[in-house]
Amino acid sequence: MLKELRHALPTGRVLTDPDVLAAYAHDEAVWAPSELPLAVVRAHTAEEIQQTVRVCLRHGTPIVPRGAGTGLSGGANAVAGGIVLSTERMTAIREINTAERLAVVEPGVVNETLRTACAEHGLWYPPDPASAPWSTIGGNVATNAGGLCCVKYGVTRDYVLALEIVTGTGELVRLGRRTAKGVAGYDLTGLMVGSEGTLGVVTEITVRLRGARASERTVAGYFAGLSDAGDAIAAIGASGVVPSALELIDRHTLAAVDAWKNMGLSAEAEVVLLGRTDAPGEAGEHEAEIMSHCFTAAGATWVATSSDAEESEALFAARRLAYPALERLGPVLTEDVCVPIAAVPEMLRRIEGIGTRHEVRIANVAHAGDGNLHPVLVVPADDPAARVRAQAAFEEILNEAIALGGTVTGEHGVGLLKRGGLSRELSAPVLAMHAAVKQALDPRGIFNPGKVIASCAPRS
C-alpha cells in the first residue's frame, strides 16, 4: 500500500519517520487513546487527497483526516495500520468576494488568518473558537466549531455555503451552492459540517461573510461564586438582550492565567463574567445597562462598563488563554456540555457538587450566553487515583447535562471521549440512523473509524 501511495503522490508527501508519526498520532485530548499510524500524508491539493483515498480504498486502509490537531475530543487520533491525512499545507484563500459576501478557502487556512484577510475588505467571518489563532477552517468544519461570538452570530454550520469533498467511493464532488438561498435536494453540506471526518474529506470550503461589525461595549462583573454568576446569565437570557459575547471565567482559571502571563486578574473575584454588546448607538448603551443591572441584581460584588477596545480586549485575552494556562498545571480533561440557558445556574451548581464528591479540581470557563459550559478537570501528574476520579466526574457531568435537557458536546465534537455520552443522549433508533448514514457515505468504513459511533469500524 505504501509503495502504491508513494507512486501516486509527489515526492515527500508520504512520511514514515517514527518521530513524525508520533507528532501526528493525536490531537490535544491527551486522555483519549491513540496509536502510531502507518504513515502521514501531507497533501497539497484536492487531487492528492483523492489519490490517497483511492489507494486506501483499494487496500481497506483507515484514513484519519487532520487539520492543525487542536481538537479536544480525540477526533484526530490515529489508528494502527492507518493513514493520517493532513490538510495543513492547503492554505490558499482562493477568493474573497465583496459583492456576494463570501470566501473560498482551502481547509488548512487558519481561522484568524481568514478573519484578518476578510477585515481588509471590510468583511467579517464570525465563528471564533478560542483556538482561532491556531485551528484551521477544515477542522472548524469537522467539529462545527463555535466560539465567543456564536451566542449572537451562530456557529460554523451557519456560515458554510458549499464544500468540495472526496467521498467514500473516491469521487471528488461539490456540495452546496454560492447563492444566498437554495433548497434543492437534501442538505448534504450541513450533514458534512460536524461529521468529524467520518463521512468524507473536505478539500475546499465556501463560507458566508458579514459586514464589518460595530464597536463593542464590554460589561465586566465580579461574583462571589458560580451560583450567583449563573443567576446573572439566566437573567440576561430572560431580559431579551442577545449579547455579542457572554463569557464566564472562574478563579481557578484566572489564577492559572495569572501564573502564566501575570495579568493581575485573580485577586478580587471568585468568578468573572464578561458581557459584550455590539448594538449601535443608544441601543448598545441600553443593552449594556441591562446586562449591568442583571449582574448587580444577581449579587455581583463589582460591575463596570467600558467602550475602550484595548481595555476590554485585555479581559477577553484571559478567556482565550484559559485552556493552555490550565494545561500547565497538569493533565486536563476538558468538558464541552451545553444546556438550556435557564438551566445554566443549576448545571454550574451540579458541576461544583461533582467536583466536591469526586475530590477533583474543576476549573470553569464557558460561552455562558448560549449555555455552552467548559468545565476543565485538572489532576496532579502521576496520580492514577485522581485520574480515575476525574474520569468518573467527567461521565457524571455528561449525565447531568443530558438530565437538564442538554447535550454532551456543544462544539468540540464527540471524537473518542464522548462516544459513551452520545449513546446515552440519543435513542437507539436515532443512533441507527447515524450508522445508516455512515454506511451509505463510507461503505468501506475507512474514514476516521471508531470516532463518534464506536460500532462503525472498517470493513474488508
Domain-located, residue 314: yes
Domain count, the chain: 4
Domain-located, residue 452: no
pLDDT in tens, 264-288: 766 678 899 999 999 999 999 999 9
d(C-alpha 364, C-alpha 264), whole Å: 18
Domain range for 392 = 330-446
Are residues 97 and 207 located together in one domain of the fold? yes
Are residues 205 and 225 located together in one domain of the fold? no
CATH number at residue 369: 3.30.70.2740
pLDDT band at 392 (very low <50, low <70, confident <90, very high): very high
CB of 449 closer than 8 Å to CB of 458: yes
Are residues 133 and 237 located together in one domain of the fold? no
Domain-located, residue 455: no
CATH number at residue 253: 3.30.70.2190
Are residues 83 and 115 located together in one domain of the fold? no
Residue 105 has pLDDT above 80, yes or no: yes
Residue 309 has pLDDT above 80, yes or no: no
Are residues 203 and 103 located together in one domain of the fold? yes
Burial of 2 (0-12, 13-18, 19+ CB in 10 A): middle
Beta bridge partners of 164: 174, 204
Burial annotation 181-218 (CB, 10 A radius, 16+ → b, else e): eeeeeeeebbbbbbbbbbbbbbbbbbbbbeeeeeebbb
pLDDT in tens, 397-425: 999 999 999 999 999 999 999 999 999 99
Domain-located, residue 204: yes
pLDDT computed for residue 456 by the predictor: 46
Q: Which residues contact 382 (CB under 8 A, 6 or more apart)?
A: none
